[in-house]
């Protein structure tokens, strides 16, 4: 396979751009195609079979573009469809993401961990095996924030997320050891989550871990782009509107 081919990123919408940002930091010379299925977002409230079907369709789109690897930059799609995707595309590296629960548990003692994710992610066996592994001797609190996905998709994080989070998290304990963001949309409201729950509480997500895994796999398979030039970034979206593409670039460039 040609090492100069792009890496495909897929998410239910725009959330996976938070993962793409980390990958670009680690692999700046790679070319990227990001496909967001915003037309069908959010995935987190959809039935399992529908999430699998939508995910495979999106991955097929990226495969048709000639990508050398696919990053499923969506926790919901990873937990629901990663096995089916790998079974279908046996010769293609497909990297998924999962809530950084291990990272949070390893970094603390035995305090309370809050996991924020979609309903579908929290219901899946993949997450619950993680939950059962790290729930011994500590309290792990699970909470979904479905409207936060829509707020990010609408480009209204600054305008609406704080008030929404303040209401949704009003009964959440404040004596937390750490917070895990188990949806790739949520990092775009990281400042607002900290403002509501406490500025001193560490927040973890899986973006850096996925990027390291991507680099490791490309290195093992001798597929790293050897160009010294900064790579290209191309956004595609199922909504196929100028507004959603412009918002994609805006989210990518947020500090």
Tens of pLDDT, residues 212-230: 999 999 999 999 999 999 9
Are residues 151 and 218 both part of a single domain?
no
* Catalytic residue numbers, as ranges: 74, 183
Are residues 171 and 229 both part of a single domain?
no
Q: Is the dihedral of CA 13, 19, 23, 24 positive or negative?
A: positive
Round the average pLDDT of the chain to a whole number and report it: 96
Domain span including residue 130: 101-205
Q: pLDDT at position 130, please?
A: 93
Q: pLDDT at position 136, please?
A: 87
Cβ atoms < 10 Å from Cβ of 186: 27
Are residues 35 and 79 both part of a single domain?
yes
Tens of pLDDT, residues 124-183: 999 999 999 999 889 999 999 989 999 999 999 999 999 999 999 999 999 999 999 999
Are residues 105 and 200 both part of a single domain?
yes
Are residues 133 and 117 both part of a single domain?
yes
- Is the residue at 2 inside a domain? no
- Is the residue at 93 inside a domain? yes
pTM for the predicted model, two decimal places: 0.95
Tens of pLDDT, residues 88-132: 999 999 999 999 999 999 998 889 999 999 999 999 999 999 999
Tens of pLDDT, residues 223-251: 999 999 999 999 999 999 999 999 999 99
Number of domain units in the chain: 2
Are residues 138 and 175 both part of a single domain?
yes
Q: pLDDT at position 255, please?
A: 57
Are residues 143 and 22 both part of a single domain?
no
Are residues 146 and 211 both part of a single domain?
no
- Is the residue at 49 inside a domain? yes
Are residues 200 and 215 both part of a single domain?
no
**What is the residue-wise DSSP string for 118-149?**
-HHHHHSHHHHHHHHHH-TTS-EEEEE-HHHH
What is the domain-level CATH number for residue 64? 3.40.50.1860
d(CA 218, CA 76): 24
Share of the chain above pLDDT 70, in %: 100
Q: pLDDT at position 108, please?
A: 86
Are residues 70 and 28 both part of a single domain?
yes
Q: What is the mean pLDDT of residues 24-40?
A: 98
d(CA 249, CA 203): 24
CA-wise closest residue to 19 among 97, 82, 77: 97
CA-wise closest residue to 239 among 161, 134, 119, 154: 154
Are residues 25 and 93 both part of a single domain?
yes
Are residues 195 and 225 both part of a single domain?
no
Which tops the pLDDT comparison, 146 or 51?
A: 51
- Is the residue at 1 inside a domain? no
């Amino acid at each position: 396979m040609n090492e100069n081919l792009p890496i495909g990123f897929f998410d239910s919408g725009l959330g996976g751009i938070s993962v793409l940002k980390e990958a670009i930091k680690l692999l700046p010379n790679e070319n990227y195609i990001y496909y967001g299925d915003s037309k069908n977002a959010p995935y987190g409230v959809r039935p399992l079979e529908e999430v699998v079907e939508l995910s495979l369709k999106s991955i097929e789109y990226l495969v048709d573009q000639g990508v050398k690897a696919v990053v499923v930059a969506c926790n919901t799609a990873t937990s629901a469809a990663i096995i089916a995707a790998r079974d279908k595309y046996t010769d293609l590296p497909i990297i998924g993401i999962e809530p950084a629960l291990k990272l949070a548990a390893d970094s603390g003692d035995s305090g309370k961990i809050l996991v924020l994710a979609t309903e579908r992610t929290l219901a899946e066996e993949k997450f619950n095996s993680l939950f059962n592994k790290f729930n011994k001797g500590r309290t792990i609190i699970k909470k979904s924030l479905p409207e936060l996905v829509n707020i990010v998709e609408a480009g209204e994080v600054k305008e609406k997320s704080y008030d929404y989070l303040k209401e949704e998290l009003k009964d959440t304990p404040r004596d937390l050891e750490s917070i895990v963001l188990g949806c790739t949309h949520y990092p775009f409201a990281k400042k607002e989550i900290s403002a509501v729950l406490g500025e001193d509480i560490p927040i973890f997500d899986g973006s850096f871990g996925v990027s390291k895994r991507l680099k490791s796999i490309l290195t093992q398979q001798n597929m790293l782009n050897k160009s010294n030039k900064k790579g290209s970034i191309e956004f595609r979206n199922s909504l196929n509107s100028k507004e959603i593409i412009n918002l994609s670039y805006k989210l990518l460039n947020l500090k």
